[in-house]
Amino acid sequence: MNREYFVWDKDRVENYIRHFGTPQNPEKKHEARMEVASYLIEGDSVLDVGCGVGHFYPWVKGMDYLGIDLSEAMLRKAREFNPNGKFEYGDVYDLSKFRVFDSVVCLSLLIHLPNIEDAIKEMWKHAKKTLVVGYELGVGSVKKERYKDRYILYRTEIQETINGIVDSLEGRGNVYQVCVQDSTYYMKVNRK
């Protein structure tokens, strides 16, 4: 997988924290997103893909939780902010080393990925009951912002793209879409 877009180093993580706050003191809009997601999950176990600094963990304390991220800098902060949480290195495109969880959530990662279809299909394999994905609805564009020697991707999706990916998931049951804020949506996909 081409990682020219991967840029979550220590400096970028500190900038992220300044913008969104810490899990214990999040920026209000970000806190609202975590709260909505906490109502959408089902079961007793949660895999948080692209967990970042662990903003979702305080909402699911007491559950069987695992947060994964590709950025070691993000994981260090997640462990620092949430010492009782479990956080591991993991790649959304290859979750084979992880078991199946009742719910899989991916709240703020898709906006930064070059290929969301493969990511969603990989996460679906590990969702026993529910998959919750967050995305930005827009005109279906990808913007590359230069950062050091790599890029940050910011993408928006058209609803038809998301619907097409979700419709292709084997064993898909009911699907619910929730507008969280402005153009930010969560889609909850249940298994039959």
Q: Which residues of 36-61 are buried (b: 16+ CB within 10 A; e: fewer)?
A: bbbebbbeebbbbbbbbbbbbbbbbe
Structure tokens at 120: 């969603």
Locate the domains of the chain by residue range: 10-191
Q: Which CATH superfamily is domain 10-191 in?
A: Vaccinia Virus protein VP39 (3.40.50.150)
Structure tokens at 35: 């709260």
- Of the listed ranges 31-40, 133-142, 157-166, the one predicted with least confidence: 133-142
Q: Report, as an integer, the average pLDDT of 8-36.
A: 91
Helix (H, G, I), strand (E, B) or coil at 178: strand
Whose CA is closest to 102, among 166, 191, 174, 31?
191
Contact criterion met (CB below 8 Å) for 79 and 105: no
DSSP states of 72-118: HHHHHHHHHH-TTS-EEE-BTTB-TTS--EEEEEESSSGGG-S-HHH
N-terminal to C-terminal alpha carbon distance within the chain: 32
Model confidence at 188, pLDDT cuts 50, 70, 90, reads very high
Contact criterion met (CB below 8 Å) for 105 and 49: yes
- Of the listed ranges 3-12, 80-89, 108-117, 178-187, the one predicted with least confidence: 3-12
Structure confidence by residue, pLDDT tens digits, 160-179: 999 999 999 999 999 999 99
C-alpha separations of 124 from 34, 104, 117, 141, 170 in Å: 20, 8, 11, 24, 9
CA dihedral 191, 169, 105, 100 (to 10 degrees): 70
Using CB atoms within 10 Å of the CB of residue 182, give its burial: 0 to 12 exposed, 13 to 18 middle, 19+ buried: exposed
Q: Report, as an integer, the average pLDDT of 1-9.
A: 65
Alpha-carbon distance 192 to 187, whole Å?
16
